[in-house]
Chain A
């Protein structure tokens, strides 16, 4: 069979820090690159902005400017949501909302979104993901509210709270982040990142915003919009300390418990996955950023949540090694060695951060049987538990088929982790990689019209 030439050598999926770095590195080495993103402009979630944005309030904006200026030799396709990548004899066919194109190799740099834990009232309008509040602020110039409670766990809560400034009435960090001093070497090697965190803390101090550790938003209250929250102190396992609950008035809540990598495409292509340092599912990449499936490279949060600086390093490694395979451009070994050292150091820092901000099992006690777990299909925790106790489901995927959590419009992106945790708890275990893969597999990664399906 004659094999027709591919439309490009390399498709880079996602134009955030990792995808931009991969596209620029590969193009500089002579690869014909198409960089594809669902959004209207490059930058991803980290550098989410509007046209004309000069970078005020953004972190490391000059890296975006540098990478963006390297795109002259890249075929940039914004507003192209990728809904499926198919392996063919000659390589891959990338199906987007604006038609399909072919390539010889792919870099998956699709990033991550907020990981959520359900709590009573979390479906009230005015309750946002931490990333959502940040996207409103950085991408739209709109504050989520006038009295905002920021809650969850992880270092990301700090920039969110600092960005909202005086509008924040409390930051509730469920963990006790002092724990990251357990990895002093990893932390010391990344002093810049620590300084960044200290800068955010200074902003919180300046606005006299209370920052409480071992404290969580365990409920939101209101009728048709959020009017207040219950904050509670937590023990080591995140169970509520009796008598510690107190109510706080607010008009918005921003919550996040880390991030969930967007793995639809790697799972579609059969890439190996494993449990990451944060207890979530990640795709496995080697020292050249290769996935287990041939022709597939991974960069950024898809192979472990670690932030923008790590994503840029991994993107550059992926782009350089893809260039070696595709056009025989041998990467400079000194540069590669430097990138690998940087990757090791940044990954160690990310692991220390994850170790300091684990999701502890006691959150399940905040959730009563009436609390909705699946926001789309409006499935309660009681219904999820009943699917195990009364219908005999043994894993989250079976619960999904029996009780519909994860069957709605978001396809389990929001509730998949929590459902896997709740089902696992019925059997006395934390979610395994296979539990999480069961709720993360989506043959269609983005909504697509029947017309698109028929055309493709």
Chain B
């Protein structure tokens, strides 16, 4: 469990423990939400923590729909919030 991993969230660096999930690292860094819902734009973060509820979806290295609770942080990961359906780049 030794070692540290640096990744970015909303353009700012966060240091996580090696092997930690993106979601756990974000919570440890004080964040609680990184997704907004499709209909009401409500903030969401981790709820079930084990991959069941899909509330914690996040964009990792440009790929939307990743479950933050299951996705292990890798060095240099670029993590961004996921808005609505997560298909912002496909709109129009």
The chain A residues found within 8 Å of chain B, CB to CB, are 38-40, 45, 48, 50-53, 113-114, 123, 125-129, 131-136, 139-142, 144, 224-225, 375-378, 408-410, 413-414
Contacts and interface: CB of A to CB of B under 8 A. Distances in A.
B54 A409 contact: yes
Contact of A413 (B2, B45, B52): B52
Interface of B is mostly: loop
Interface of A is mostly: loop
B51 A378 contact: no
Interface of B: 1-2, 17, 19-21, 24, 27-28, 32-33, 37-40, 42-55, 57, 69-70, 72
Given A51-B1, A375-B47, A135 B69 contact: yes
A129 B39 contact: no
A141 to B, nearest CB: 7
A378 B72 CA distance: 28
A135 B49 contact: yes
A375 B53 contact: yes
A104 B90 CA distance: 44
B37 to A, nearest CB: 6
B72 to A, nearest CB: 7
B20 to A, nearest CB: 6
A110 to B, nearest CB: 11
A83 B86 CA distance: 22
A250 B54 CA distance: 24
B50 A135 contact: yes
Residue of B20, B49, B51, B57 contacting most chain A CB atoms (<10 Å): B49
B52 A113 contact: yes
Contact of B52 (A128, A141, A408, A410): A410
Closest 4 CB pairs of A and B: A132-B49, A140-B24, A409-B54, A125-B32
B19 A132 contact: no
B66 to A, nearest CB: 11
A127 B32 CA distance: 10
B54 A113 contact: no
B50 A125 contact: no
A414 B52 contact: yes
B52 to A, nearest CB: 5
Given A135-B69, A136-B49, A144-B27, A225 B33 contact: yes
Contacts of B21: 139-140
Residue of A113, A132, A144, A414 contacting most chain B CB atoms (<10 Å): A132
A225 B28 contact: no
B12 to A, nearest CB: 18
A53 B1 contact: yes
Nearest to B31: A125
A225 B31 CA distance: 10
Nearest to A379: B39
Nearest to A129: B48
Contacts of B24: 136, 139-142
Contacts of B44: 123, 125, 375
A124 to B, nearest CB: 8
B83 to A, nearest CB: 14
B50 A132 contact: yes
A123 B20 CA distance: 24
Contacts of B17: 141
A343 B32 CA distance: 42
B25 to A, nearest CB: 8
B48 A125 contact: no
Contacts of B42: 123, 378
